[in-house]
Amino acid sequence: MSRVSLLEVKIPEDRYEIRLSGSGGQGLVLAAMLLAEAIGADASKSVIQTKSYGPEARGGASKSDVVVSTGEIYYPKALHLDLLLAMTQESLNKYYPDLKAGGTLVIDDTLVSKLPTQDYYGLSFTRIAKEQLKNVMVANVISLGAIAAITNVVGLDALLTAVLARAPRGTEEVNRIAVETGYQEGLALKLKKNPPTN
């Protein structure tokens, strides 16, 4: 047998790995599904979404992974995160170690106060949902809008299409506003963090 050690083998980096995390009931599994649908609308991309949750329908830790690749996806979960969304302090503490060096961290600063790094995007998804949109249920959708603005993983149009396709009747408008609000907030934050240089 050849003497190449497989422990030295570099696992190809043709994957973009996303984790949406928080507590049960925050709608993160649904958000991951919407994100996967929006990304997968581009036929050149493979996408796979998995979830991990406790036995309860509400409460407890909850996370959902979305893996994106231009090739086939085999191992279906995320290992080295390119993007971590943490909607609670507990989920941030738990999953921050999985974030790659240079990976993107997005947190809900309504519910997260202790940060392990200065390099993050903090937005008040829950507060915005409650105060501006009068509907705490759409915090997850606002976060998706912000992700679309902060990263290049999904476009605003594809995201809107995916969200509206799944929105229960009568909630289309609040969901549309949620995506757009998140997108605007994300864009502003990104601009603040990375001022244009010319």
Binding site for another protein (CB under 8 A): 1-2, 4-7, 9, 11-12, 33, 36-37, 40, 43, 46-55, 73-77, 79
* Closer by beta carbon to another protein, 99 or else 107: 99
Q: For tokens 């990375």, what's the residue? A: 194
Q: How many CA atoms lie within 13 A of 108 on its CB side?
A: 30
Q: How far is the CB of 77 from another protein (least distance, A)?
A: 7
- Residue 59 vs 116, nearer CB to another protein: 59
Residues facing 113 on adjacent strands = none
Identify the burial level of 189 via C-beta atoms within 10 angstroms of its C-beta, where 0-12 means exposed, 13-18 middle and 19 or more buried. middle
Closest distance to another protein from the beta carbon of 40 (Å): 4
In the complex, least distance from residue 52 CB atom to another protein, rounded to whole angstroms: 7
How far is the C-alpha of 191 from the C-alpha of 181, rounded, in Å? 15
Q: What type of residue is 165? A: A
* 51 versus 176: smaller Cβ distance to another protein: 51
- Min CB(41)–another protein separation in Å: 8
